[in-house]
């Protein structure tokens, strides 16, 4: 009989410290990942100077992906997050864009990135300044 198709999904939750015996929050994290041999995950406990972190990692990764240190715990779910929003903006030749409340002017910004021991790096110029509308930086 073939193996059943995996059911993808995962969940996590936090209980406020106001509801625990210790007064500290409680994190539960279940990535709903199936068992396999060899195991995909490896337990790790890393200590170096003030670093003291324990949890699980993947082969070749120099850090704990899901775990805790002396102050906090962290986890993740295995379904992809929403990491982008796409908007279609209608611009006119006068550099305005349409909103539900009428036309708004696009903001042009020149950003400076300070780099340690290097000259500052400018982002944007008179012809190509960072363009910002109500949804953030965008392209025309």
Positions annotated as catalytic residues are 10
CA nearest 72: which of 53, 45, 49? 53
Nearest CA among 27, 24, 70, 25 for reference residue 46: 70
Hey, what are 120's tokens? 């500052």
- Residue 55 structure tokens: 């949890």
The residues near 45 (Cβ < 8 Å, ≥ 6 apart) are: 53, 54
Token couple for 54: 């324990």
């Amino acid at each position: 009989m073939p193996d059943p198709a995996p059911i993808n999904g995962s969940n996590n939750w936090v209980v406020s410290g106001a509801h625990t015996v210790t007064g500290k929050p409680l994190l539960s994290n279940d990535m709903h990942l199936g068992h396999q041999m060899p195991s995909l995950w490896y337990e790790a406990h890393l200590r170096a100077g003030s670093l003291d972190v324990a949890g699980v990692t993947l082969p070749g990764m120099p850090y704990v992906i899901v775990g805790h240190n002396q102050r906090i715990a962290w986890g993740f779910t295995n379904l992809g997050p929403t990491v982008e929003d796409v908007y279609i903006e209608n611009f006119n030749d006068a550099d305005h864009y349409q909103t539900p409340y009428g036309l708004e002017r696009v903001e042009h910004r020149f950003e400076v990135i300070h780099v340690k021991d290097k000259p500052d790096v400018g982002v944007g110029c008179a012809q190509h300044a960072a363009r910002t509308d109500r949804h953030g930086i965008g392209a025309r």
